[in-house]
Amino acid sequence: MGHVSEYIREMVVKQVKDNHLVVWFDPERIYGDISADLEIPGGTVARYRDSFFELRHDIAPLMTREEPPDLLIYVPLSEEETENALVAYTSAGIVLKPHQTPWQRNTRLAVIANQALKDLVDDAAELEEIVKKVDRNELTLSDLDALAERARKSSYQKILALIYRVETPQDITLSFLNRPETDEELTRKNALDDLKTFLHTEYGAEIREDTPETCRGELARYVLMSALLANLDNYVPEMLSRVPHARSTKDQQACAQLVYEWQMRRDLQKSYATWARKIEQALGIGEYRLELSQIEDIHTFQGIDQAVLSLVEQALLTQSTDDLEEIARKREQGFWAEMVPTTKARWRLVATIAAFLQPRPGNRDHDERAKLHCRRDCGALYGQGSALVPAGYTLSLRGKVLRNHRVRIGITAKNSKKSLYKGPATLYGTWRRDRLQIRPATRPITVRPPGLPPPDRNYLRVRSTCHGTGQGRIHPRGCLPL
């Protein structure tokens, strides 16, 4: 409930407590939602629902008591429209309605706005303009709640900006999390409660601790957990459901953005890593087992990064895909890879292995360049690329041409020490239906260098360029086992 709506609720409850019987006329039906949720401690709320007979029947037992009941009667009509149907109650109690006197019983929205916002809006001219817009029906109750929220946020933010010498909500929050030397000034200015209200407004955090140091730890845990669960698409592991975290999507996204900014700040990265490890150890984040698809884009905790690494390595034992290579390349540039050099090296190795195990001799540029030249002379350069080919494998080229022409391909195979094979291989075509199958003139080119380690510890780099005559195209098809 917004600030203005809360002001109305408190005003009505106070009138009931002071006068016992209150009849509230709302001809514009502005306050229907408030009345629907309104509760009077120790009292009763009766609402008109198209029948005055039913309304009087419902409240009749309350009027027979010796003590006057605390009773609020809400009627979404003007007093004139009731045709004195409730005159017995209006005479025995008091009336709340627009333009009623004194002003404490006047429910005109402009009057309510003026009273509710006067402590939040410092500029008298601005407040007067707001009241005028309400009178012209340009602002609704929900608009006033939003304005009050902005005004409250601004007032708290100004106090905290004086302490931390920064302006934006993110910078204020990060300063609190990473600058404990300002705690003395925060306490001296008695601004801890202002900070709690500010954090609740910005991130939905309910901070209950009483000292800046303990509040800092509670906030760090709240923010990191909220960011983690935001990236998990609201999937909450059972053991983490009891840990305080943001409930609304808006607050979760705000926490996720704060964590991203925290990680990106070079001057704050070590602080983030320290807090993340501390919270991860306390909550046992690394012990949870989640699917790769759930956590592949999450960088909140180091344990998550290690879990992604293990899952990618296990997946590579089955089959390498472009997705696995892409995950490894991204994680190599991620926060924890930058913070832990050994993690970065391991991700780089995994990315290299993923590329190595994929069954294609040319890179993507090679394939795309070949397609672009598919209608040009074979005498032009069709493409050039490289692939990691394990020892004992053969490089097979297959193509489709439009005419029966001879194609000549130059191949070089070498390792880091010496050239193992270098020379042209003349390939001929054989017609099969409407396709020309290109094959080597003799046996396939096979590299079996003696004395080298097993294939999993050695590779050969094969570079190929295609030249010839006629029209057609040549596509690499992969490294095929012998």
Tens of pLDDT, residue by residue over 186-228, are 999 889 988 998 999 889 999 999 899 999 999 999 999 999 9
**Are 339 and 372 in the same domain?**
no
Distances in whole angstroms, Cα of residue 45 to Cα of each of 10, 21, 75, 442 = 14, 10, 11, 97
**Are 186 and 279 in the same domain?**
yes
The DSSP letter of residue 375 is T
Distance, first Cα to last Cα, the chain: 73
**402 domain residue, yes or no:** yes
**192 domain residue, yes or no:** yes
**54 domain residue, yes or no:** yes
**181 domain residue, yes or no:** yes
Average pLDDT over residues 328-341: 93
**Are 370 and 463 in the same domain?**
yes
**19 domain residue, yes or no:** yes
The DSSP letter of residue 139 is S
Check residue 396 and give its pLDDT: 40
**Are 93 and 197 in the same domain?**
no
**Are 182 and 272 in the same domain?**
yes
| pLDDT of 229 strictly over 80 | yes
At 369, the pLDDT band (50, 70, 90 cuts) reads very low
**Are 177 and 275 in the same domain?**
yes
**Are 170 and 267 in the same domain?**
yes
**187 domain residue, yes or no:** yes
pTM, full prediction? 0.52
**74 domain residue, yes or no:** yes
| pLDDT of 404 strictly over 60 | no
Q: 90: domain range? A: 3-107
148-153 LR contacts (CB < 8 Å, sep 24+): 148/2, 148/3, 148/4, 148/116, 148/117, 148/120, 149/2, 149/3, 149/201, 151/117, 151/120, 151/121, 152/3, 152/120, 152/197, 152/201, 153/198, 153/201, 153/202
**Are 324 and 397 in the same domain?**
no
| pLDDT of 423 strictly over 50 | no
The alpha helices in 165-298, defined as continuous H runs, are 169-178, 183-188, 192-203, 212-231, 249-264, 269-283, 292-295
Percent of the chain at pLDDT > 90 equals 43
**Are 196 and 281 in the same domain?**
yes
Number of domains in the chain: 4
Distances in whole angstroms, Cα of residue 430 to Cα of each of 392, 405, 470 = 27, 10, 15
**Are 190 and 251 in the same domain?**
yes
**148 domain residue, yes or no:** no
At 8, the pLDDT band (50, 70, 90 cuts) reads very high
**Are 170 and 283 in the same domain?**
yes
113-170 pLDDT, tens digit each: 999 988 888 778 888 999 999 999 898 999 998 888 777 766 678 788 889 988 888 9
Check residue 454 and give its pLDDT: 39
d(C-alpha 218, C-alpha 214), whole Å: 6
**Are 469 and 399 in the same domain?**
yes
- Between helices 141-164 and 109-117, what is the axis angle to 10°? 10
| pLDDT of 417 strictly over 50 | no
Average pLDDT over residues 56-72: 87
Average pLDDT over residues 33-59: 90
Rounded to 5 degrees, what are φ and ψ at 390?
-70, 150
